[in-house]
Amino acid sequence: MSEYIPTIGLEIHSELKTRTKMFCSSKNDANETRPNVNICPICMAHPGTLPVINAEAVKSVLRVGVALGATLADYTEFDRKNYFYPDLPKGYQLSQYEYPLVSGGELNGIAITRIHLEEDTASSVHTEDPSTSSGQGGVTTIDYNRAGVPLMELVTEPVITSAKQAGDFARELQLLLRTLGASDANMEKGEMRVEANVSVSKGNQLGTKVEIKNLNSFRAMERAVEYEIKRQTALLERGEKVVQETRGWDESKQSTFVQRVKEGSADYRYFPDPDLPSLKLSELPEYSEETLRKSLPELPRERRSRYLALGVKGEDTELYMREPMLGAFFEGVIAGFKGDKSRVVLASNYIANDLVALLRDDEKRDTDYRANMPISARNFSKVIEMLSERKISSRAAKGILAESVKSGRDPEEVARSENLYQMSAGSDFEAVVRSTLATNPSVVADYRAGKLAALEYLVGQSMKATKGAADPSTLRELTLKLIKEA
């Protein structure tokens, strides 16, 4: 019996990082906690008011389109999408239907259908009644600060085949939006919301689509998609039909639930908004693809390729991509290495392992390294330079790094004051090695009996005695020489 094949398409909404809202001059501030302060007659839909298109929002969406290798619109217009909901002031939403700003493109190998621009709704705030055991009987209030905020919607083709692939796509889009400065895309703040359309079938024909709305974290989206694939498969296995509907995700129950029967485009009664002009983008030089391309920073895929070409490990590369503070720090460290791959790789190893471990220890003490790195890129570079020039041992480097992170002291000053500079002259350490051999006769005997690990133990003891100031290879050679002479 052939297995059911899942097909997934994503609709991702992202609030754009503009100074003002989409069609008025009210402030666009996702961090505002006071209700109903960033509002005006336009975004509150008072009679007689006229909207004006936010040019920066249009440009932001077009830049995303260029970054995705998509086709930019020559002509575009805004439509009225009609439906009633308490947090929609006008009773319709200004959106785009037939003529989106962007068509096509791809990300992570996933084909994109379209990207269009619209306005966000207000926020419904639900307050439970504390006097009842169930919390029912509370009130719902509306905060209109978010109403009218520019909202980019990206729709993929239905070509995604697993929850993981869907999660990887959404994470990469978030990274791209942040890189472009188009959106902060913080899911916990509602700045990025994901909806997944899921169907299963056995043949080439798509199954009945179910939409899962307003998923507010990547993990929630992945779990919801996985659950829905299993739910639909079980229905079909029992000979039942999948109903086309909109479902929500219950995090506590780890299951989807019915919200409403899914509307079709005809239900929204789209028509061009008579108060907004259509745009002939080809007649506006500032929106040309060439101009927009010149404004793009290094894109995530380009940055990945550069790091990998320098020899940085894949997992370290992803760390720098996902942690902006660490990524910027890594860039600052390697800036002076002029493409020296050995130093770049060495720096990456120490950042991804030793420095991150030290920072996480600091984080437990309420020090947020994402806002304040406790060591400068220049000081970290000094540690790498001393290490690569064999002025200090790897053990000494770890100690110097820990001290510099803790106190901010200059690494070279730490090395001098703690006598950690590495010396390579064998005679300087002969007494240390002789003492190590004299105090560990059983280990010497083990080495002579063929236990090679015994040699490393002896070298380690000598390193400990020199506080890491000796060159390990020199100590190893000296240890072998003195064992042979004994």
Q: pLDDT of 232-262, one tens digit each?
A: 999 999 999 999 999 999 999 999 999 877 5
- Indicate the pTM of the whole model: 0.83
What's the mean per-residue pLDDT of the chain?
Answer: 91
Q: What string of DSSP letters covers 394-450?
A: HHHHHHHHHHHHHH---HHHHHHHTT---B--GGGGHHHHHHHHHH-HHHHHHHHTT
Non-local (6+) Cβ contacts of 216 within 8 A are 187, 188, 190, 193, 194
For residue 432, the model assigns a pLDDT of 86
Structure tokens that stand for 309 in this block: 């070409």
Across 408-436, average pLDDT: 81
What confidence tens digit (pLDDT) does each residue in 273-324 have?
A: 999 999 999 899 999 999 999 999 999 999 999 999 999 999 999 999 999 8
pLDDT at 266: 66
d(CA 96, CA 75): 12
User: Which residue matches tokens 């009842």?
Assistant: 132
The answer to whether residues 143 and 161 touch, using CB atoms and an 8 Å cutoff, is: no
Confidence of residue 473 (pLDDT cuts 50, 70, 90): confident
437-468 pLDDT, tens digit per residue, is: 999 999 999 999 989 899 999 999 988 887 66
Strands 279-280 and 102-103, bridge-based pairing: unpaired
pLDDT for the residue numbered 192: 96
Task: Give which of 130, 168, 147, 155 is closest to 94, Cα–Cα.
Answer: 147
Cβ burial, residue 380 (10 Å; 0-12/13-18/19+): buried
**How far is residue 155's CA from residue 366's CA, in Å, rounded to a whole number?**
40
**pLDDT class of 24 with cuts at 50, 70, 90:** very high
- If you average pLDDT over residues 197-205, what whole number do you get? 90
Q: What integer pLDDT is reported at residue 1 of this predicted model?
A: 42
- Residue 429, pLDDT above cutoff 90: no
Looking at residue 339, its pLDDT comes to 85
Residue 421 has pLDDT above 60, yes or no: yes
pLDDT for 262 equals 58
Q: How far is residue 249's CA from residue 243's CA, in Å, rounded to a whole number? A: 17
Which of these, 442, 437, 486, lies nearest to 462 by C-alpha position? Answer: 437
Residues 78-129 have pLDDT tens digits of 999 998 888 899 999 999 999 999 999 999 999 999 999 999 999 988 887 7
The pLDDT tens digits of the residues spanning 41-54 come to: 999 999 999 999 99
pLDDT classification of 365: cutoffs 50, 70, 90: very low
Residue with structure tokens 């660490």? 326
Q: State residue 368's pLDDT score.
A: 52
| pLDDT above 90: percentage of residues in the chain | 74
Which residues have C-beta within 8 Å of that of residue 468, sequence separation ≥ 6? 392, 393, 395, 396, 399, 420, 422
Helix intervals (H) in 69-205:
163-180
pLDDT of residue 484: 87
Length of the chain: 486
Average pLDDT over residues 12-35: 97
Exposed, middle or buried, 102 (CB in 10 Å: 0-12/13-18/19+)? buried
| Statement: residue 422 has pLDDT above 50 | yes
**Residues 160-197 pLDDT 10s:** 999 999 999 999 999 999 999 999 999 999 999 999 99
CA-CA distance, 351 to 47, in Å (whole number)? 58
Rounded to an integer, what distance in angstroms lies between the CA atom of residue 1 and that of residue 3?
6
